[in-house]
Each structure stands twice: as C-alpha cells, then as structure tokens.
A and B are shown apart, each in its own frame.
Chain A
Amino acid sequence: MTVQARDLTKDYKFGFHDVDVSVFRTEKGISPEVVAAISDHKQEPAWMLRFRLKALEHFFKRPMPTWGADLSGIDFDNIYYYIKPVEEMGRSWDDVPDSIRQTFDRLGIPEAERKFLAGVSAQYDSEVVYHSIRADLEKLGVLFSDCDTGLRDHEELFKRYFGTVIPPNDNKFAALNSAVWSGGSFVYVPKGVRVEIPLQAYFRINSDNMGQFERTLIIADEGSYVHYIEGCTAPTYSNDSLHAAVVEIIAEKGAHVRYTTIQNWSDNVYNLVTKRAIAKEDATIEWIDGNLGSKVTMKYPSIYLMGERAHGEVLSAAFAGSGQHQDAGSKCIHVAPNTTSNVVSRSISKGRGRTSYRGHIKVLPKASNVKANVRCDALLLDEESRSDTYPYMDIENPDVTFGHEATVSKVGEDQIFYLQSRGIDEQQATALIVNGFFEPFVKELPMEYAVELNRLLALSMEGSIG
C-alpha cells in the first residue's frame, strides 16, 4: 500500500484574512517600554504593571527550551505584542465592524449561537470585540467576560487567583504571556451553581506577525460545574506567528470543570501554551484537548490533584500533517491521598508530520491510595511520518496503582482488506479507521464540534491513498 502526503493547508477552510483595521498597536519587539505601554493603554492598576515587568525579567532570563519541538524559527523581535482592534467592546452583532463580522460569519459563530451557546466571547486579535452573556447566567451570578474586564470589574476576586496556578516564572512562554497578556476569558461560577450549557470563546489571530497572548482564568467555586470550550482558527500568513497563551483553572472543593479545546491554527503558527488546573478536595478536572493545526504545538495540560479524592481526566487527540509537529501530552501531579487520574491520548501522523506524546505522572510521598492510568496510541499513515512517546513517571508512594500503556502502529492491512471485501474503497476504509481511532475523543465533544472535526478529518484524509 502506498500512501501519499496531502497538504492539510490546501483544505484550510479559514485561510482568509481581512484588511487590517487595528487602531492601536505597540512597536514590534519586546521591552519594558512595550510592556508599560500595554499596561498604560489598558489603564491597569499598578500591581499588574509590576507583575508584568517582573514576568518580563523572567522571560529575558530563561533560556529557550532545548527539548521538544524546534523553536528556532521564532523571532521575538519581529512580533507585535499588542494590537487593539476596536475602541469599544461590542454588545451585539450590529456594533461589530463589518470586516470582523464577516470573519465571524464565515466561522459560523452566529449559527452556533442560535443553537445553544451560552455566551459568545470572540477574540479578534488581542481584544474581545464581541461578548454576550445570556441573562439567565447573569442571574445565577456567573461571571463570563474577557480577562481585561475581569480585572477591571472584579479586581479583588481576580487578584486572589490570577497567577496562582501558573506563576510568571513557570516557563519562558508563560513568562512572556504574563508580561504582555491581553484578552482571554475570565469565568467565575459561584458556589453550587451548575452551568448546564457550555461557555464558548473563539479566538483568532488576524494580523501579520501578530503574537497572541491571551490569558484565561476560570474559577469554579465549591460544588459548581462549568464546561468551557475554546476553539481556535487562524488565517494563513507567510510569516510565522506566535501564540503563547496561559490558562489557569481552579476547581474548589467538589467543583467540576471541563475544558474543551480544538486547536486548528493555520500551519505557520507556533502554538506554545501553558495550561494548568488545580483540583481541590472532591473536585474533578477534565481537559479535552484536540490539536489539528499549527506548525508547532507544545502543550501539556496539567492537573494538580491537591485535595483528597480529586479526580483528573485528560483526553487528547492530535493530527500532524506535512511539516507539522504536535508535541502534546499531559501532566497529573498527585499531591493528596485517594486521588485518581486517567489520561487517554490518540495521535495520527501523516506526510512528514510528527506527533509526540510527552507526559508526566508524579505521585508525591503523602499521596496514598492513588490510582493513575495513562494510555497512548499512535497511528502512522505513511512511510514519512513519525511518532514519539515520552511518558515520564515518578512514584514516591508505594500505595499506588499506576498503569501506562502505549502503542504505535500503522493502519492495518487486514483492517483495510476486511473493509474492502465489504465493498468499501481503500480511501474510505482508511478514513473510517481514522475516525474510529479518534472516536474516544470525538464522542466527548458537543455535537457541532464533533461534526466539524469529523469533516476536517475527512478532508485531510482525501486523496491520501495513492
């Protein structure tokens, strides 16, 4: 069987971009002056400026990571760190400039909202331009805004949690984000409140050489539940773009937070994201993490199980086509006794694509009666693709049940043969197998995402059989 690479970007549905309408942007490159200008423009409190400047020092001090993907293509001096596209936050579609609305229309946001969205928070460049929260959520006391608004309107709550899960010196890219962050979502769910419909935000990079550094902070108070969905698409540009986001989640006692991402950046984007959640007593954190796009992704959603009986789940799927490197994985750190975690990872490489699973399970000495399981499977579609698995584990408590299993294989000839013998052609058969392989991930997605993902997969599989 010969399998040919097909360039995923040819099918890239969102590879258009509108004329740049930005109204304020900092100089290219990064310096304390740029950071101060961002903070000044946002009229932030002094403590936030200090936080940013301190983070910038960490960013300058930290070396580039030498492990993982090749990051040598990033030129920090050739990036705009802040662009503000419109003066005011849009409250309804009519207020949003036409060009931006067209972009969103093509992404299908209004349709999605007509279905069952709780609120749409669409990030265009660095600032949230449109934002609506349904009245019933407001009545429940749920806060859902962009992060800048969160800081402005709920400073005390914001300050209590901001930067506590991912300190600014955590890693080079978290430090960069902490220095220049803008936009992202701020979510607070009060005690005992269940948000039954998912909160969604669309993020979008739309300026040449534009780095996007959104910051998301989700606080689920005791006994609450929330499902947050982040979907990313980006127009195609010739110069490499950088996306370095930080996502912090705090699940207080008994809270349950599910965070779903489908990342579909165009294939010039370096996607270097730090995502971390803290699960307190009896809390549950779920990361549902799909990586389809970008040139390079390095993303390891992590869960710190700090309270007894906390539970963590990571379900991830990655697809790497020609020229793409998806270096994704997860970390579960068991700090408290009776905590459990489960990681399931599925990845597919095609063309010269490369997927890596990089994970870490750590069980600290005081964490007795821990159960942890990691399962990763990789599928190779042709001779040029590559898959690596790096599962780290450190177990410091004997009272633990830990299992890890991984497989790498190609699409089985016997599976193809079986399907062909039932009248399905080879291409369809491969697509079916790929769909089945991603099934554990897809079935956890809300329906419109599942449909979209299956369609994207089908597109990327077209013509893959020579």
Chain B
Amino acid sequence: MTEAATATGTVGRESLQARLAASPAWLADRRTAAWDAFAALPVPSSSRDEDWRRTDISKLHLERFGQAGPAGAELLELGRSRHGAALPEAALVVSGPDGTTAVENAESLQAQGVIISSLAEASARHPELVQRGLSRIGVGESYFTAMWNALWQGGAFVYVPAGVHAMTPVWISHLAAGGDAASFPGTVVVLDEHASLTLVEDTVGPVDTSPRLSVAVTALVLGAEARLDDIPVQQLPPATWHFSLRRATCGPAAHYRLLGASLGAQLQKAYWDVLLEGRGAEADILAVCFAERRQHLDHQSLQLHAGPDTRSNLLLKVAARDQAQSVYGGLIDVLPEAIHADGYVVNRNLLLSHGAGASGVPRLEIKANDVRCGHGTTVGHVDDEERFYLMARGIPASEAERLVVRGYFADVLDRIPMETTREWLVSLLDAEIGAVEAAPAPEAER
C-alpha cells in the first residue's frame, strides 16, 4: 500500500535508486534495509498507536510531495541572516533540501582536528565515525525513521576528537523544501572522550503557505565525559508536516544539555530521546514551545536510564493560543541496572485563548529499586489579576500578554549561555507572540 501510494512522489523507489547510486556500499545496504522496513510498516495511526493517540496524520498524503529543488537565494539569505544575527562566530553548515551542503567559517575548528562536513561526504570519507554516530538509530525502528534512513541527503556531520573543546560553536542551518516537496534533514554529531561542543540546529523554510514535508533525524553521540550543548530551533513555514527524531546517547559521565524552541510547522511530531548508557551520565532537556492558529505541536520525550548513577531532568514549557493544540508524551524508563537513577520531567502549559488545548502523558516506568523519579504537569492561564496589574500600569492587553509569556519562557531561555543567541530567540518569540513594533510603546516608558 505504501509503495502504491508513494509511487508518484519523492517518497518512492526512484528516489531510493538515486540515493543508492550516490552512497558507499555500507550506506546503500543500510538504505535498502530501511526502505524494506518502511515499505512493511503501517502508517502510524491515532487509533492503534499509543504515542500517536492525540496526533492524527490520516490527512498526510505522501504522494503529493515531490523531489525538492535547490534552495533559492532568498531562503539561503534567510538561513545566513539568522546565523549572522544570533551567533556570527559559529562555523556554519548550510544544508539545502536537495542535498547541497556548504561549510563556511570552519577553519579554526578544523585546525583543532574537528571534522565538519556534509553527512554524505562523511559517509564516504569517515564511514566508521558516521556508523558510530548512527549506531543508536535503528534502520526500521519506526515509520518516519525508516523513511529518513532510506532517503536522507546532504545533511551535516561534526566530529570532535578526544579532549578537544571546540573553540567556536557549530551552526547547522537546515533549509526546508519549497512548496509541495519533501526534505530529509539529517545531523550526526560524534563527540569523543572529554570533547565538548556547542551546537545550534536551525530548521527553517521559505515563508509561504504551501504544504511541504520535513522528516528529520539528529543523532548525537557523547563519549565518556563529553559535553554537548544542543540548541535546536524549529521555525518551519505554516503548512509544514514535520516529523523529527533527536536522540542523544551519553557515555560515562557525559553531560548532554538541550535548550530548544519549537515554533513553526502546521503539525510537528518531535521525539527527543536521551539514552543515559554510561555510569553517571547526565541530561538536561529544557525547551519552549509557542503554538498559535491551528498549529498542532507534539513532543515525545524518552529519558532512558540504562546506567547506574544517571541523572536526567526535562522541562517543557508550552504556550498555546488561538486553536493551537499542544501534545506531550514523556517516558522516564529506569532499567533494573540503573541503580541510584534520578529522573524528573515537568510539562507546563499556558493556554492563552479559548479553543487552545493541551494534553499530555508524562509516564514513569521504574524497574530499578534504588531510584528517585518524579514528574509534574501543570496547565494554567494568564491570570486576570496579572493582566489587570499590567494594564493598570498603562500596558495594553496585547503587550501584557506578551510580557507574561516572555516571563513564562524566561527560566528556559535564560539558561542559553550565548547572549546574542538568547536575545535572538527572545526576539523570535516576541515576533511570534505579536509584533512588538505594532504595539504602542508602554506609557510607563514615556
């Protein structure tokens, strides 16, 4: 059924053949196995699959999405300008929807021995490193992961050797396909022992309202005592279907920190997994999500405690306005070996209008004994009192809402270490909540 349904689109055998021709043997084998798994897997269903229960994709028709062309000048400029505004010192990898990848400003990192290239190029030149990076991504583990494994192109690859602290951050700009086309962005990062890196992954697209498909995988592997600050920003255009898997695997005493923002797309299904495999591995996942209009943004997290003395903490703060829906599903899974595990997950929701909704299931599955785990969920609204307080000081209602939401997001955003990036993200959120320029200046400031 999958075969027939996708015969005319880019998700089809023809695309696979083209990818196979351009891949080294090991990768071609992996793509073929992934395609076979994909063809055999049913489309996720909200009536059958627990983690899809609140996200219905029955209206997704893969056959309508064609092969993506190269990114236009305007889109390239958009990607570059965001890097320029937020973190100009970072090395830049621009990864286009058609597989074209450009690396800029990476000389100082390369001098440190850091490998930074397209994922396609790394697959040919450093197969063992890419294989290590993909070792925790099962070829056929799920419908969209199998699709990505078969069809990804271009992509970005970063390897930081043992003991190297990357001098500058790496900014990966994934540019989405044009209207009615599909892109398969991919990022693989491998940090060897004692290595450290700051990564920004910015996923954007052309500003229009035509439908497109984005299926992404980000695989992050942290060796012993490695440290990764990972800042994913998703601001895809309004009619995008976005399916992503972001999985960090942490060796002994590695520390993974995610500081993310989900802003765009029509429908997002994002899996954020951390696999704490080594003794004493730690993960902090802190993210904000702003959903408006009829956006449906779904986050699924996994905190897998496989090693002893592991610690994880997740905080997802969502604000939803208009008819937007936020869905959250989280699981803290503590395996029997993970003694002294410490896991926590909190999902907070701020509903800004009638019609907005939030649902969630923060699950705990504890199979070890000597653990400390917990979770929390809250749903609230902007208090009439808060609004009144601000308005009494001459701040108009729309501005009051923006201030409250900004304050709500602040405890996550404040933890972004780079000031320019933090300010850029705040300005993105401000723009999403309501144009600052459009609101009259607060009376109090005159």
A residues whose Cβ falls under 8 Å from a Cβ of B: 67, 363, 365, 378, 380-410
Within 8 A of A (CB), among B230-245: none
Size category of the binding interface on chain B? 35 or more
Known contacts A395-B379, A397-B354, A403-B378; A385/B373 CB under 8 A: no
**What chain A residues lie within 8 Å of B357 (beta carbons)?**
394-396
Q: Provide the bound-state CA to CA distance between A190 and B376, in Å.
A: 42
Residues of A within 8 A of B372 (CB): 407-409
Measured CB to CB, the residues of B under 8 A from A are 50, 54, 336, 349, 351-381
Tell me if B366 and A387 are in contact (CB < 8 A): yes
B362 in contact with A395 (CB, 8 Å):
no
Q: Does the CB pair A380–B381 fall under 8 Å?
A: no
Given A398-B356, A404-B378, 15 more contacts at CB 8 Å?
Answer: A388-B366, A389-B375, A392-B360, A393-B358, A393-B361, A395-B379, A396-B357, A398-B351, A400-B379, A401-B380, A404-B377, A406-B374, A406-B375, A407-B372, A408-B366
- Chain A residue with minimal CB distance to B372? A409
- How many angstroms between the C-alpha atoms of A27 and B362 in the bound complex? 46
Per CB-CB distance, the 8 closest pairs between chain A and chain B, nearest first, are: A398-B351, A402-B379, A404-B377, A389-B364, A394-B359, A407-B374, A383-B369, A396-B357
Tell me which residues across on chain A come within 8 A of B349, comparing CB atoms.
Answer: 395
User: For chain A, what secondary structure do more than half of its interface residues adopt (helix, strand, loop), or is it mixed?
Assistant: strand
Contact pick for A398, options B354, B359, B377, B378, CB 8 Å: B354
Give the complex CA separation of A392 and B366 in angstroms.
18
Say whether A408 contacts B371, CB under 8 Å. Answer: yes
Which residues does chain A contribute within 8 Å of B375, judged by CB atoms?
Answer: 389, 391, 404-406
A344 smallest CB distance to B (angstroms): 15
Chain B residues with CB under 8 Å of A383's CB are 336, 368-370
A408: B residues at CB distance < 8 A: 364, 366, 371-374
A400 with B351: CB separation less than 8 A:
yes
Knowing A408-B364, A409-B373 are in contact, say whether A393-B379 is a contact too (CB < 8 A): yes
Contact in complex: B366, A386 (CB < 8 Å): yes
Q: List 26 A-B contacts (CB under 8 A).
A: A378-B364, A378-B366, A380-B371, A382-B369, A384-B369, A386-B365, A388-B363, A388-B365, A391-B363, A393-B361, A393-B377, A395-B358, A395-B359, A395-B379, A397-B354, A404-B375, A404-B376, A404-B377, A404-B378, A405-B376, A406-B364, A406-B375, A406-B376, A407-B373, A409-B371, A410-B371
Summed over the interface, the residue pairs from A and B with CB atoms below 8 Å come to a total of: 109
Q: Is the CB of A400 within 8 A of B377?
A: no
Q: Which residue of A lies closest to B354 (CB)?
A: A398
Distance from A357 Cβ to chain B, minimum over Cβ atoms (Å): 9
Q: How far is the CA of A387 from the CA of B367 in the complex (A)?
A: 7
Task: Give Cα A405 to B374, complex, Å.
Answer: 7
Residues of B within 8 A of A409 (CB): 371-373
Identify the closest chain A residue to B367 (Cβ).
A386
B336 nearest CB across to chain A (Å): 7
CB distance from B42 to the nearest CB of A (A): 15
Check if B351 sits within 8 Å of A395, measured CB to CB: yes
Question: Which B residue's beta carbon lies closest to that of A412?
Answer: B372
B372 vs chain A, min Cβ distance (A): 5
Kindly list chain A residues whose C-beta atoms are within 8 Å of the C-beta of B374.
405-408
- Cα–Cα distance between A67 and B359 once the two chains are bound (Å): 19
A383 to B340, CA, bound (A): 12
Q: Are B359 and A393 touching (Cβ within 8 A)?
A: yes
Give the shortest distance, in Å, between A336 (CB) and chain B (any CB): 16
Interface centre among B359, B366, B374, B375 (most CB of A within 10 A): B366
Enumerate chain A residues within 8 angstroms of B358, measured Cβ to Cβ: 393-395
Query: Taking CB as reference atom, which chain A residue is nearest B345?
Result: A406
B354: which A residues are within 8 A, CB to CB?
365, 397-399
Using Cβ atoms and an 8 Å threshold, which residues of chain A touch B379? 363, 393, 395, 400-402
Distance of A4 from chain B, by nearest CB (Å)? 12
Residues of chain B within 8 A (CB-CB) of A394 are 54, 357-359
Given the complex of chains A and B, what is the CA–CA distance between A55 and B307 in angstroms? 50
Q: How far is the CA of A359 from the CA of B349 in the complex (A)?
A: 18
Cα distance A342–B111 in the bound complex, in angstroms: 60
The distance in angstroms between the C-alpha atoms of A153 and B50, with both chains bound, is 46
In the docked arrangement, what's the CA distance between A230 and B375, Å? 33
Closest-CB distance, A35 to chain B (whole angstroms)? 30
Query: In the complex the two chains form, is B369's CB within 8 Å of A380's CB?
Result: yes
Chain B's closest residue to A402 (CB) is B379
Q: Report if A410-B377 is in contact (Cβ < 8 Å); known contacts: A392-B359, A400-B351.
A: no
Q: Max chain A CB contacts within 10 Å: which of B354, B369, B376, B377?
A: B369
- Distance of A391 Cα from B364 Cα, bound (Å): 9
**C-alpha gap A401/B372 in the complex (Å):** 27
Q: How far is the CA of A408 from the CA of B345 in the complex (A)?
A: 12
| Minimum CB–CB distance for A363 against chain B, Å | 8
Measured CA separation A388–B353 after assembly (Å):
33
A386 to B357, CA, bound (A): 33
Report Cα–Cα, A393/B351, bound state, in Å: 14
When A383-B336, A386-B366, A408-B364 are in contact, do A391 and B371 touch as well, CB less than 8 Å?
no
Q: Find the residue from A67, A386, A389, A409 having the highest chain B CB count within 10 A.
A: A389
Most buried by A among B357, B368, B377: B377
A402-B380 in contact (CB<8A): yes
Contacts of B359 in A (CB 8 A): 392-395
Taking CB atoms, residues of chain A closer than 8 Å to B378 are 402-404
Taking the nearest CB of chain B, how far is it from the CB of A389, in angstroms? Answer: 4
B54 contacts across to A, CB distance below 8 A: 394
- Chain B residues within 8 Å of A395, by CB: 349, 351, 357-359, 379
Q: How far apart are the CA atoms of A386 and B367 in the complex, in Å? A: 5
